[in-house]
Structure formats: structure tokens, C-alpha cells
Structure 1
């Protein structure tokens, strides 16, 4: 930070953020951004994945601070199967995460993108169950467990769901009916929870992110076709960069400055989901 420059997000210092992400690159990017602002991070998810992300964060911080990885006690890991965890598993993981640094100030969940784009008739019961589990049931169980502890301590906190534009009424894409239904339900859950948990000083928000080049729709195309499509139909003329484009909003929502923003679904998509008739002017 330059001398004399105001640190806007100084109230993030010392906050503990539990990050539950089924999207490894997004979980890494957002966790690193928060860690750079002096948050402590607890990663929840697959053991091998969380260890990998933890090491990447520590290495990046060591480079930026000229320290060593062993000196950076800023990231911990908690094993949790985000696809199949039951309530007892979630409670145990949250309890472990809570005691890692003394408490949890923020829960940040990152929903997974659909692994395949199937028509409603092709979607299997197993795919339905997994999609609903990782995108709706596990975030709900995590929120329930953490909110209970936040209520008991009397300090409150923040819940942030990073979802996708496929859960929006203006974000329909072929082949994502079940995924969109799960995220639409997550958005409704966020609003309802904000109303009911506000009295405990717990704020709840969601971010509907735009599609990235690694999501199911763009990956059906060649790299050249994906770039061409973005330049033709997206007002910002590019697909989303999951770290850079979400960083500022996540930092804000994790801060105390965002407490009065509870109950909102924020759209960060570069205009991808603007009404199609309007978007035809870009084709």
C-alpha cells in the first residue's frame, strides 16, 4: 500500500472466512484475495483439493511478502464432501473450522457449474441429486450450522453464496434446467434467510456470476469460436474472469461496510444476461 493511501477494507483484518468451493480455481482466487487483505481462511472440501489450494495460497503470499510458507499460519483445511455430506458431517466440519482460528466471521460458498448440458429428458436422477446437493443442500447445511454458532456467540456474521446467472430469470441457457433450478432455489434461500437471520446480526447475500470460458457452454466451442462469440453477444465482449471480476464485490460483502446490503442478489456478468432482443444489436 502506498504511503498515505487509505485502506478502504481495513475492517477485514483478522476476519475468519470459511470457504466451501466445488470450483477449485474460483475458490483459490477468492481465498487468495481475502488472505491478501489479512483475513484468515479455512478451506472446506475434498482433502486433496483443499491441500492444493492451501499450498497455492501460502506460496503466493510468501512471494508477495518475501516470507516463507512455513511462517504463514493464515490458511487451514477441513475435509468435507460437498457432494454427499450429511448434516452430522457438516456440523463436525463447521465445529472444526470454528475452532481453527477461534470463530468464523464469514461463510463463502462457491457453487459448481454444470458438468454437462443435458436436456430435461436426458438428466438422470443421480445427476439431479448431485446437482441439488452441491449447489443447494450443502450450502443450506453449512449456513444452518454456522448461523447457529453465530447466534450463540451473539456476534453475528456474513453469509455469501457465489452462484451463477443460470439461476436468474434472465439467465436461461439450453441444457442447464436442473442447475438453474438449484441456483434459483439458492437465491430464494438467501433472501428468506436474510429476513429471518437479520435479528441475529447475520447478513446473507448471493452473487450470480457470469459464464467463464471453462463453463459448459463456452467449452462446446473452440477457443477461437468462444472468443468470437463473446465479442458478438456480450456487451463487455469477453467471458468472465472468475477471480478478477468477482474480487471487489466479495471483498466488499465480506466487510462490515456491507451489513446493510443483506438480502440482495448481485449480478456480475458483464451484461451476458441482458434481454436477448437488446443483445441482438451486438450480433
Structure 2
């Protein structure tokens, strides 16, 4: 995967004058969102469990943007509170929170998975976004300027077939969580939405992409969706930017699916245009 060059901040950008917090910013969608949000004028607080978050911040700073990086556990309340406090201390405000961090938990089936596995997946993937809504949302509500919270769910949270049971259940929870969050933060003008990526080349899915490359079958990745390909992180970052910006000012409590059309249909035998279906 060739990373998109980091653009210098745009003085008239869609996020000019705003402060954005992004978790899972060490790679993949989170890193792409950090570069894009900064290019659109946002000042950033970036969190990730790995040291790579500092490299993301360096990319933003080298391009002329502003970013603070912290190594955190997105499913730990004290760490989420520290991220939110850092935004207030560094920039005096918080306008956007992108709860993007997540783990796959593997593909262990219903009978094979352990309670410990389920607990960890739910802690990071579902409790983490709730903590972001709880603490970032409170700061936004108290400030009285509104705001936007985005959570990364997944097509796996819509129906089966796109992830293991624990992962799928956690992402279904995120989709419901944003609807509840949107209702409970409505008086403060804080919007809460989710993005639901399909197969995307990120740090979490890198083993799948590496295996396909080793076997010479990269052309098969994403072949089940109508676009017949996998997504790149920048494509999901663009969806997050839309939800973070005023361009989505009337979008609230929604799960925006970005999957190449994968979830638009039940499984069928693919037919060429003009042929009779069977």
C-alpha cells in the first residue's frame, strides 16, 4: 500500500478552527484520517496503542499541521479521559472525536472462542466508543458549540459473513450505540454517527493482504462486492471527514456503509448484464 502524500493545511479547509481527536491513529484508517483532517485545517490529538502514533503525528507536523500523540488503550477509561483532557489543555476545545480504534479478535467460532476473547473484543470495540461518547461528548455539550462524534463500526455489524462472532457482535453494538448517543446528545447539538467499512487494507487486515500477495491472488480481494476490489484507508477517511464536517450537518444517528456495495444484496449467482437470472 502506497500512502497518500500528506497535504499542507488548507486555510479554508472544512475543519478549519476545529480540534479533532482520533484513536487508532497509528495506521490504516486512523492515520489516513489524521492526514486528511489536518489538511482540512483541524488541530489533532492522536491516540493509538503502538508507537506508530508518533510517526503519524510527525507526518502531520512536517506538513505544517498541529498534532499531539499519546500511546493509549482505547478501551481504558482513564486513557480516554487523558486524550480528552489533552485536547482541552493543548488547544482549549474539542469539536470532533473519531473513535476508530479496534481489534479483530480472530475468526474463532461460537464453540471455539473463549470468554476472555469476547471480553477483550467488546472492551476495545464497544466499550471504547462508548467511553469516547461519554467523555468527549460531555466536553462538547458543556462547551455549547455542538460537535461531531464518529465511531468505526463495520459491515460485520450489519449481518454475518464479514468477521468472527465476537467482532461482529461488537460492531453491531457500535451501530446501535450511535443511535442512542445521537438521541441522548441531541439537546447539545452533538451529532453521533458511524462508518461501516467493508474490506479495507489496514494494520488489522494486513495479514490477509500479505497472504494474498504471497499467493499471487490479490485480484480476489474484495471480489464479492460490486466494485470487485478492496478499499484503501483514504476512502474511509473521506467518509469520516464528511461526517466530521458541516457538510453532514443534517446527518445524525446513522451508520454510513462504505463497502463497495457488498451489503446491498443477499448472496446471488452473479449474472452478466442482459442475461437471464437463474
1:102-181 matches, cutoff 5 A? 102-169=92-159, 172-173=160-161, 176-181=164-169
Give structure 2 stretches of 5+ with no counterpart: 1-9, 273-278
- Are the structure 2 counterparts of residues 220 and 124 from structure 1 closer, same or farther at C-alpha, using a change threshold of 3 Å? farther
* 1:18–1:42 Cα contact (<8 Å) kept: yes
Superposed, 1:90-109 pairs within 5 Å as 90-109=80-99
Tell me the distance in 2 between the aligned counterparts of 1:211 and 1:270. 9
Q: Equivalences for 1:203-282 in 2 at 5 Å?
A: 203-213=191-201, 215=205, 218-219=208-209, 222-223=212-213, 224-228=216-220, 230-231=222-223, 233-243=224-234, 245-278=235-268, 280-281=270-271
- Alignment root-mean-square deviation, CA: 2.5
- Count of aligned pairs: 259
Give SS of 2:185's match.
Answer: helix
| Secondary structure in 2 matching 1:120 | coil
- Distance in 1 (alpha carbons) for counterparts of 2:128 and 2:113: 21
TM-score (norm 2): 0.84
* Cα deviations by residue, 1:154-211 (Å, 9 ceiling, x for unpaired): 1121101122111113xx2275111010010111010111112111010001010111
**Could you tell me which residue of structure 1 aligns to residue 53 of structure 2?**
50
1:247 Cα deviation from its structure 2 partner? 3.2
User: When you count helix as a share of all residues, which structure comes out higher?
Assistant: 1
Please say if residues 25 and 34 of structure 2, whose CA atoms lie closer than 8 Å, have aligned partners that are also in contact: no
- Deviating 4+ runs (over 4 angstroms): 216-221
Unaligned 5+ runs, structure 1: 1-6, 62-71
Q: CA deviation at 1:99?
A: 1.8
Q: Tell me, what secondary structure is at the counterpart of 1:44?
A: strand
Corresponding residue for residue 64 of structure 1: none
Answer yes or no: is 1:79 the counterpart of 2:96. Answer: no
Deviation of 1:53 (Å): 1.6
Decide whether aligned partners of structure 1 residues 93 and 251 sit closer, same or farther in structure 2, where only a CA change above 3 A counts.
closer
Equivalent positions of 1:172-191 (< 5 A) are 172-173=160-161, 176-191=164-179
CA distance in 1, matches of 2:109, 2:195: 26
Shift of the alpha carbon at 1:246? 1.8
